[in-house]
């Protein structure tokens, strides 16, 4: 029901955090696209656990296997199925929560909705589900780059109260990947890393903001009313575990301007229609206008903290819970490739829809 995303480029993720494997099925991928497991692995390595001292120490290689839809290095136009085995699952670490609801998790709501839940690491509600999204996003990113010259790049802008100074028009992948926080402001990244380590030592967690840019998106992508590009991006971002907010362009800061200050005046630049400012974030009326698309996503502090908290059990009796297991003290460094992946899925889907309707 809620496991499939997209219209023409459709992805369905499957699997649980501590089950045998997780993965994704892509339907609607165009044929004759060059794709390899190494293309997918690059993105999965950016998302995988255990990659630095500031993320969960679960030891997973997240090695991807393409099972169908690709032949001799080219997509067939048929469904692509990709699988990643769970190698370091430790469901016994979660036995204490088998009958207890973790605060601010999906435990209670899943139980109320279905009358049953997989308590081993959160099951389907775990962020390990996002492996399928990142794998599918790797395919989408490659198509967007090779066919449309669209580049997508996300980075950590803020951790707790530490905010970086980043020029979104010039930031590069090399700068983002130069430190474990994935913040291109190198001096601020060091402060952020130190903060995360300090918070982790206290058994606590912090959240922050990821900013994402999409370059070279042509004008015309997106549909009016219910399928606005901005609305689909919002849905995509808010479907990522731990997200709490989405804003594009000037976002909530727009309330600090008058209409004459906030309007993006049109002009001709290099022989093309452009705007002098970009408060619109590259989207007007739900349709891309050819300018830089940029938006921000707020992530809450990781809900699992290593301190005793009050809760309720499945028999609706008050009790206490002190979680165990391996968890991220801050989800943002590993969420960067997830944000990029979901952006790619939205943009490619709209690119295919635009071509089907308007060309």
Confidence of residue 52 (pLDDT cuts 50, 70, 90): confident
The string of pLDDT tens digits covering residues 185-208 is 999 999 999 999 999 999 999 999
Is residue 67 over pLDDT 70? yes
Mean pLDDT to the nearest integer, 335-350: 98
Q: How far apart are CA 93 and CA 340, in angstroms?
A: 31
Would you state the pLDDT for residue 273?
A: 95
The string of pLDDT tens digits covering residues 78-90 is 999 999 999 876 6
The string of pLDDT tens digits covering residues 202-233 is 999 999 999 999 999 999 999 999 999 999 99
The string of pLDDT tens digits covering residues 122-148 is 888 989 999 999 999 999 999 999 999
Would you state the pLDDT for residue 40?
A: 97
Q: How far apart are CA 198 and CA 204, in angstroms?
A: 9
Would you state the pLDDT for residue 25?
A: 98
Domains with residue ranges and CATH for the chain? 4-358 (3.60.150.10)
Q: Read off the pTM.
A: 0.95
The string of pLDDT tens digits covering residues 301-319 is 999 898 899 999 999 999 9
């Amino acid at each position: 029901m809620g496991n499939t995303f997209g219209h023409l480029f459709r992805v369905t993720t499957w699997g649980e955090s501590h089950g045998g494997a997780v993965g994704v099925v892509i339907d609607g991928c165009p044929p004759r696209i060059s794709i390899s497991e190494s293309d997918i692995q690059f993105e999965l390595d950016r998302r995988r656990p255990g990659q630095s001292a500031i993320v969960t120490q679960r030891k997973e290689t997240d090695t991807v296997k393409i099972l169908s839809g690709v032949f001799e290095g080219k997509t067939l136009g048929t469904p692509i199925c990709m699988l990643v085995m769970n190698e370091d699952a430790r469901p016994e670490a979660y036995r204490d929560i088998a009958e207890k609801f973790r605060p601010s998790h999906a435990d209670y709501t899943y139980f109320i909705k279905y009358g049953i839940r997989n308590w081993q690491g959160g099951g389907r509600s775990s962020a390990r589900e996002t492996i399928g999204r990142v794998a599918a996003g790797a395919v989408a990113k490659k198509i967007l780059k090779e066919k449309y010259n669209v580049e997508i790049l996300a980075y950590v802008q803020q951790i707790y109260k530490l905010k970086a100074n980043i020029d979104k028009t010039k930031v590069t992948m090399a700068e983002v990947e130069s430190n474990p926080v994935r913040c291109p402001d190198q001096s601020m990244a060091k402060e952020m890393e130190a903060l995360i380590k300090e918070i982790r030592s206290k058994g606590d967690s912090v959240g922050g903001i990821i900013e994402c840019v999409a370059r070279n998106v042509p004008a015309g992508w997106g549909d009016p009313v219910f399928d606005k590009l901005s609305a689909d991006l919002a849905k995509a971002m808010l479907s990522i575990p731990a997200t709490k907010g989405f804003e594009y362009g000037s976002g909530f800061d727009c309330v600090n301007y008058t209409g004459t200050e906030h309007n993006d005046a049109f002009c001709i630049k290099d022989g093309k229609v452009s705007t002098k400012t970009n408060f619109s974030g590259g989207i007007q009326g739900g349709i891309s206008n050819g300018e830089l698309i940029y938006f921000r996503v707020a992530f809450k502090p990781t809900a699992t903290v290593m301190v005793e908290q009050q809760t309720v059990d499945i028999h609706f009796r008050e009790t206490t819970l002190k979680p165990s297991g391996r968890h991220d003290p801050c989800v943002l460094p590993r969420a960067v490739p997830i944000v990029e992946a979901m952006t790619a899925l939205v943009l490619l889907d709209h690119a295919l829809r635009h071509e089907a309707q308007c060309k």
